[in-house]
Amino acid sequence: MIHFIKHNKSLLCLGSYLLFSYALTGQNIQQTQTDTIAIDSTKLVSNFDREVNLGFQTEKNGNIVGSVSSINPDKFLKFDNTQWVRDALNGRITGLKYSSNIRGLGDALIVVDGIPGRSIDLLNMEEIQEITVLKDASAAAMYGSMAKNGVIVVTTKRGSNKKEFNVSASSGIKNPVAMPKYLDSGEYMKYYNEARANDGLSATYSDDEIANFNSGVNPYRYPNIDLYSNDYFKSQSSFTNVLADFSGAMEDTKYYINVGFKSDRSLQDVSENDKGTTRFNVRGNIDFRINNWITSSLDAVAIIERNKSSLTNLYNAGQTFRPNLYAPLLPVSMIDFTGNSTLEGIVEAANKYDGYILGGNQSFSGNVPLANIIAGGEQTNMTRISQVNNSIDFDLSSITEGLSAKTYLSFDFYNSYNLTVKNQFAIYQPTWNDDNKIIDLVNVGSADRRGQEEKVETNSFVIRYGFFGLLNYEKKIKEDHFIKASLVGFTNNTYVKSVKQSDKNSNVALSLNYSYKNKFLLDLNASYIHSVKLAEGNRGKLAPTVGLAYVLSEEPALKDISWLNYLKLRTSMGTIYSDLGIPGYFLYDAIYQQNGGSYYWGDRYGSTSSNGYTTIERGQNNSLGMEKRMDFNFGFEGLVYDKFSIEANYFRSSLKEQVTRVSTLYPQYYNSFRPYSNFNEELRTGFELGIRYADKFGDLGLDLGARVLYTDSELTKVDEVYEDDYQYRNGTSIDAYWGLESLGFFGVDDFNADGSLKDGVPAQFGNVQAGDLKYKDINNDGVVNDQDQVVIGRWDAPWTFGTDIKLNYKAFTLFALLTAQVGSDALVSDSYYRPQAGDKYSEVVRGRWTEATAATATFPRLSSIENTNNFGKTSSFWMYDNSNFKIERVQLTYDLPETWVSNLNMEDFSVYASGSNLLMVANNKEIKQLSLGYAPSYRYYSLGLRVKF
């Protein structure tokens, strides 16, 4: 770790020297590489002529009718060198919430190089040519059932006629943004005694014990263990990312190869086994001509990822290891061997670790996280991924001009396995004398044996096959009319280990596009969707969509307006049928259960006879169908003054005929054999707005983008039966939190002398006392129960914002990405925030209720037993405002002078310093920044360079 810190200090000094010395010497150099890439507002105009990959086909941006947004990583990676695709998407695309949620519909379908279902988490941004988001039904219709929540189309890079070689390298450190803060031993013991007193129980710890733990007189006899301290975790860890790609052409063959290496070191700092993660990936493709009418391509991807660690994740284990349990390490120097040859033999035989033996306690022999890390063994998680694609393109113009065809075949293989080596080890419970010396050791573990168990276990095994065939026809009629038609059929089959029924998706789609003078645009799409989840004879559905666009700027009356460069109105509507919401296979079928039983026969009164009987567990419904998404979109996009572009859309999406086991359509005695039916309905509406402004003021260039998305939702039809009208979910938000409305804490005045609740105070859950949570009796029946649940918040933010800012001055470019979300709530649910019974206490319990702190308390009274009233119910007490503003990334880039770059036989050379997850502004920042589970959230700092030959 010391070597790495020194190395990064050297990099930082070198980077700073290069940046500022180049800046000073650059005053005498007439031209820099930045001058050649100064902001050119004509690029905004050319965006409407740019070809956009829609997955099965490409189209000029200006001719697209559906609601589509796209980004080209080559345009921003130099100034925003993030390599995680999700990070690059978050806050950057109009209509995209977070990284993969389109307009609040849910996780979108990911399509990589034409293959649905692939993961963007396997990609580096350097590999990607373009990312396109298909938002409305008209744009996504060709993908059928899988496009229920929209589509994100990722197109990777391919070879070109020009030879290129690019290198991107970065190295840096990551710091935990926040670590859990638990009470020390003395404070924990004091509060635990208080919890027992609140429950009418005697104290567990004496005052003398607490004093000894507080004194620190012997940290091994009276331990104060903080597994999140610098004793076990580094203050920072390193990461490195190196990527190189090269491309070119030889005669009729183009090629592209991308190679990447990534290293992410572990923050856990106990054992040499905690190495962290390394990943190696290679992507290659070739495009070649077979003859004058057939071309083909072959793509291959291989990824190997290795994570080596000890057997215990300390960040997770620390959440349950109380500070006073026992000392996990015992120094040999504190053992008194005087006249005790038996003790000498025990210590002689024990494994020693830098002068320590492993400590433990008989009562907690199963809770030995540090011993398991130091002596328990190691594990290696391996992930191997391979993908192969082959496409064949046919130019069929010899049959009729404008006719072409394409076939695409893919094979994906995903495998991960875990190699574990386990050791047996001894842990010792000490006996101490009055002089704080160890006078006896008892092994409460096992005998020390290494390599006792070696196991290889396959965690996941997935195979995916995909195929699609495409027939295209294009025809220009005279000068004003253009017709384009596409017919596609595809199938996708995913096999997962231990899953008997593989996922199958298939559909046939037809797209008809018409353009008149590039002014009036019409799209007609129809997709025939097939689902094996439904009964035979009911497995197919036809889903039509229609889209219209009108390029107003092509009208003579507007064409001569100098400040109006482009203006297009568009609208679309349509239907997408999907089986993604059907929660299983064969749900249309009845299920019968054969049971044994004993009952009286009429002719054998007085005796019993055993016989089997059959019950029906679920009714049959061969009419069970797919869910239906009905879409409407209206919007416009434009450009004015060659500098200011805008895109805006209003959308309305209704999800109907959702699958559920309906109860309201059947009498009560049907309860056990109700069939699955199509019933529930949801509605989502909203609008999105994206703007971009680009201009140059002397040597200062400005490129500013901003996006806002507003979404609202409503349950419009729900299968439900409640006693009280206010409990019905129909008409409420889809993302509503339902729970009890907290009124704060019970006070002493709420109780009679015998501890019973006073008249008029509603009964709660179990026996309550002063300091317990108090809930509102919504229906005024004198009892608080689940019938008093109401809407207390919503988990999805209705407002999301994203802003990217790029300023360049001569050779320097400063980039920043900002995001915000407003209007959402969240609940704390982990034992860190809601400890009860024997849970470890975090710092939140310092705000516990007592009679003295009743006016300022922020936490219920402490209790050493399970408390359903306080901790077992969802209530507004545990809710917090989830709104926040974040500075996601900042990067400062310096371009070396062009003359220097040319002398090095390069096209471009830049160095940069960047940081990510830098700042959060929120009312509840402490809660949001603390990650509980297996790893903290990090703040990243890096130095890097990019070279283009």
**Whether the predicted pLDDT of 46 surpasses 60:** no
Tens-digit pLDDT profile for residues 367-409: 999 999 999 999 999 999 999 999 999 999 999 999 999 999 9
**Per-residue pLDDT at 457:** 82
Torsion of CA 333, 337, 338, 339, to 10 degrees: 180
Confidence of residue 611 (pLDDT cuts 50, 70, 90): low
Report the range out of 32-36, 825-829, 897-901 with the highest average pLDDT: 825-829
Segment 848-853 mean pLDDT:
96
Diameter of the chain measured on Cα atoms: 115
**Whether the predicted pLDDT of 29 surpasses 50:** no
Q: How many CA atoms lie within 13 A of 356 on its CB side?
A: 15
Whole-number Cα distances in Å, 947 to 78, 282, 487, 797, 901? 10, 19, 43, 40, 10
**Whether the predicted pLDDT of 337 surpasses 50:** yes
**Per-residue pLDDT at 52:** 87
Q: CA 880, 823, 707, 98 torsion: positive or negative?
A: positive
**What rounded mean pLDDT belongs to the chain?**
90
Confidence of residue 22 (pLDDT cuts 50, 70, 90): very low
In this structure, of 46-50, 315-319, 544-548, 740-744, the range with the lowest mean pLDDT score is 46-50
Helix, strand or coil, per DSSP, at residue 449: strand
**Per-residue pLDDT at 811:** 94
**Per-residue pLDDT at 856:** 96
**Whether the predicted pLDDT of 218 surpasses 50:** yes
Q: How many CA atoms lie within 13 A of 617 on its CB side?
A: 8
Cα separation, 429 vs 362, whole angstroms: 7
**Per-residue pLDDT at 12:** 35
Segment 801-830 mean pLDDT:
96
* 165 Rama sector, left if φ>0, alpha if ψ -120 to 50, beta otherwise: beta
Cα separation, 431 vs 364, whole angstroms: 16
**Per-residue pLDDT at 607:** 55
**Per-residue pLDDT at 608:** 54
Confidence of residue 768 (pLDDT cuts 50, 70, 90): very high
**Per-residue pLDDT at 18:** 33
Q: What is the pTM of this model?
A: 0.88
Segment 256-268 mean pLDDT:
95
Segment 162-191 mean pLDDT:
95
In this structure, of 7-16, 195-204, 233-242, 774-783, the range with the lowest mean pLDDT score is 7-16
Confidence of residue 597 (pLDDT cuts 50, 70, 90): low
Segment 498-504 mean pLDDT:
79
Q: Kindly provide the residue ranges of all beta strands, DSSP E only, lying in 212-350, ordered along the sequence.
A: 237-250, 253-265, 276-289, 294-309, 329-331
**Per-residue pLDDT at 110:** 93
Is the CB of residue 167 less than 8 Å from the CB of residue 161?
no
**Whether the predicted pLDDT of 886 surpasses 70:** yes
**Per-residue pLDDT at 39:** 43
Cα separation, 727 vs 446, whole angstroms: 56
Tokens of 193: 């005694």
Confidence of residue 244 (pLDDT cuts 50, 70, 90): very high
Cα separation, 800 vs 933, whole angstroms: 26
Q: Tokens 């130091």 sit at which residue?
A: 374
Whole-number Cα distances in Å, 783 to 325, 432, 757? 41, 54, 12
Is the CB of residue 936 less than 8 Å from the CB of residue 228?
no
Confidence of residue 48 (pLDDT cuts 50, 70, 90): confident
Cα separation, 864 vs 926, whole angstroms: 26
**Whether the predicted pLDDT of 860 surpasses 50:** yes
**Per-residue pLDDT at 609:** 56
Whole-number Cα distances in Å, 6 to 9, 12, 20, 417, 910? 5, 10, 21, 36, 23
Compare 456 and 361 and report the one with higher pLDDT.
Answer: 361
In this structure, of 239-243, 279-283, 562-566, the range with the lowest mean pLDDT score is 562-566
**Per-residue pLDDT at 455:** 79
* 623 Rama sector, left if φ>0, alpha if ψ -120 to 50, beta otherwise: alpha
Confidence of residue 33 (pLDDT cuts 50, 70, 90): very low
Task: Give percent above pLDDT 90 in the chain.
Answer: 77
**Per-residue pLDDT at 652:** 97
Segment 934-945 mean pLDDT:
95
**Per-residue pLDDT at 264:** 95
Compare 60 and 2 and report the one with higher pLDDT.
Answer: 60
Tokens of 425: 């080890």
Cα separation, 80 vs 90, whole angstroms: 13
Q: Which of 774, 779, 798, 805 is nearest to 790 (CA)?
A: 779
Cα separation, 547 vs 573, whole angstroms: 6
**Per-residue pLDDT at 614:** 74
**Per-residue pLDDT at 601:** 52
**Whether the predicted pLDDT of 479 surpasses 90:** no
**Whether the predicted pLDDT of 781 surpasses 70:** yes
Compare 786 and 9 and report the one with higher pLDDT.
Answer: 786
Confidence of residue 933 (pLDDT cuts 50, 70, 90): confident
**Whether the predicted pLDDT of 550 surpasses 80:** yes
**Whether the predicted pLDDT of 785 surpasses 90:** yes
Cα separation, 85 vs 102, whole angstroms: 16
Is the CB of residue 318 less than 8 Å from the CB of residue 358?
no
**Whether the predicted pLDDT of 613 surpasses 80:** no
What single string gives the DSSP state of each residue in 8-41?
HHHHHHHHHHHHHHHHHHGGG-S-BHHHHT---T
Segment 808-813 mean pLDDT:
95
Helix, strand or coil, per DSSP, at residue 55: coil
Interacting residues of 69 by C-beta distance below 8 A, sequence separation 6+: 93, 94, 95, 96, 132, 133, 135, 647, 690
Confidence of residue 19 (pLDDT cuts 50, 70, 90): very low
Is the CB of residue 447 less than 8 Å from the CB of residue 439?
no
